[in-house]
Structure 1
């Protein structure tokens, strides 16, 4: 990692500063992560009254609307690596909002499903999500928000495989 920025040390100070300024303005990852952190905080705050975080709400939504899903399949639809998903599933399972059971075909596989308590919490949270969603779209613009969602979903189809196993050397 440090080796990758060695070229900055050899540049004159003004050129180095310009390269860093350009990074801030052009880095797709930084811009997306900043916006994601900002929106996550907004949605987390809105969902606080029902003791859910935005990611937990999204997981409940997927399970409520798509039925039980294998953990790998859920990770795929959430665009998360399995380890991060597992971290997010633990409090939902602990609180009885989801159940994780062995698969029916392959007992080694795990399936996640929403419980009655989870569905009740999801129904409590949905109006809170809807209100913050409307507030954001009112401030940002409904058409701009739709365009933003479309653009972010298109990123998922760029062909990168961020969670693929590294090829052995």
Structure 2
């Protein structure tokens, strides 16, 4: 099945490019989630980080970077505004002071509670577009693909 992409013919090499297709889908999906999460003044990346910290308090910076499939520099840039806003804190690990561990503050936990219903609406909108079974299969496949990174 071919779909029209503005400015490109159906024979364009981009139609066969996995990188182009996945980046395009990622941008589309990110916009969908961020449109919903905007009411809580949180980005989709921030929401993911907050939820991971809520589920795994005391996670190290390296573990969080691995879970997010982000390099450490990008992760530091992502968490700085959340630290500034008081949603999370970093402190040296007890057993290894050179490692930083992260945890949510009460305002961070409150932000998760505020944003979760908005995230749920984004989930529902996405699944209405692609179908819940297809969405579940994609989630499984993408998580499996990135599991070893």
Q: TM-score, normalised by structure 2?
A: 0.88
Residue 123 (structure 2) pairs with residue 133 (structure 1): yes
Residue 103 (structure 2) pairs with residue 113 (structure 1): yes
Which residue of 1 is the match for residue 78 of structure 2?
88
Which residue of 1 is the match for residue 54 of structure 2?
64
- Runs of 4+ aligned structure 1 residues displaced above 4 Å come to none
CA shift, 1:34, in A, is: 0.9
- Secondary structure (helix, strand or coil) at the match of 1:113 reads strand
Which of structures 1 and 2 has the larger relative contact order (alpha carbons within 8 angstroms, sep 6+)?
A: 2
Q: TM-score, normalised by structure 1?
A: 0.78
CA shift, 1:130, in A, is: 0.4
Residue 23 (structure 2) pairs with residue 21 (structure 1): no
Q: Distance in 2 between matches of 1:138 and 1:52?
A: 23
Report the number of matched residues. 141
Q: Distance in 2 between matches of 1:38 and 1:139?
A: 12
Q: Distance in 1 between matches of 2:144 and 2:19?
A: 14
CA shift, 1:29, in A, is: 1.7
CA shift, 1:155, in A, is: 1.9
Q: Distance in 2 between matches of 1:117 and 1:148?
A: 33
CA shift, 1:152, in A, is: 1.2
- Secondary structure (helix, strand or coil) at the match of 1:101 reads strand
Give matches, 1:95-106, under 5 Å.
95-106=85-96
